[in-house]
A and B are shown apart, each in its own frame.
Chain A
Amino acid sequence: QVQLQESGPGLVRPSETLSLTCAVSDHAVNSAFYWAWIRQPPGGGLEWVGTIFHSGATYYNPSLKSRLTISVDTSSNQFSLDLRSVTAADTATYYCARHSGSLWFGELLYGAFDTWGQGTMLTVSS
């Protein structure tokens, strides 16, 4: 059964870059599935951050696109998130997740997020 495990620094200073990694176990990241990041501020709701396919194709939330890079390392079976110029508004629990999908005329048709990691809390503070 596929398992996802996030890792990150826990604390990042304002204006710096947040880097997180999601290690995928018991399932090849270069399968037919897509891999996503979702975040949840303390006491708040869920926000899709972005998605990557093993080919390297990326799909980003427009609200974060200018600061976001998601990458995949198939040799290590993991994928990563870099979020630049962070502020207190980026404080959240970050989850990695898996979803199905398909391309239709170059546009990604998403599936539901069927498997989630346990999440890693990230605080932005000086």
Chain B
Amino acid sequence: EIVLTQSPGTLSLDGGERATLSCRASQSVSSNYVAWYQQKPGQAPRLLITAASTRAPGTPDRFSGSGSGTDFTLTINRLEPEDFAVYYCQQYGNSPPTFGQGTKVEI
């Protein structure tokens, strides 16, 4: 199975700053089928990005995804208070679907 490694584990930033989150796969992800999710305490994950770079309906345009092959990035421009959360990448191009361990974005 594909192992996803996210870095950093924790990102400490202020509101208005840019967050850059990395997700590295142990092998190339088929069709760049990587998704990003946001999870706040006590809530289910929420889908933000599909296919590496396509925003899901309702995802603000300050969120952008990029990357291909084994290296993928989620960028959050101009952090808003509601963006402080844990972010997970997930690959679904290869079976079984797998998730990274998460990056916490904190103030």
Contacts and interface: CB of A to CB of B under 8 A. Distances in A.
A118 B88 CA distance: 17
Contact of A111 (B37, B92, B100): B92
B47 A114 contact: yes
Most chain A beta-carbon neighbours within 10 Å: one of B45, B93, B97: B97
Given A61-B96, A110-B95, A112-B50, A45 B44 contact: no
Contacts of A46: 37, 45, 88, 90, 99
Interface of B: 1, 33, 35, 37, 43-47, 50-51, 56, 88, 90, 92-93, 95-102
Chain A interface residue number, banded = 20 to 34
B35 to A, nearest CB: 4
A110 B1 CA distance: 14
Contact of B46 (A45, A48, A99, A116): A116
Interface in A45-102: 45-48, 59, 61-62, 95, 99
A62 B46 CA distance: 25
Given A112-B50, A113-B35, A95 B44 contact: yes
Nearest to B57: A114
21 contacts: A45-B88, A45-B99, A46-B37, A46-B45, A46-B88, A46-B90, A61-B96, A95-B44, A95-B45, A108-B95, A110-B92, A110-B95, A110-B97, A111-B50, A113-B35, A113-B37, A113-B47, A114-B56, A116-B45, A116-B46, A118-B43
Nearest to A111: B92
B44 A117 contact: yes
A109 B100 CA distance: 19
Nearest to B97: A48
Contacts of A45: 88, 99-102
**Which of B56, B99, B102 is the most central at the interface, judged by chain A CB atoms within 10 Å of its CB?**
B99
B99 A48 contact: yes
Contact of A48 (B43, B44, B51, B98): B98
Contacts of B33: 110, 112
Contacts of A117: 44
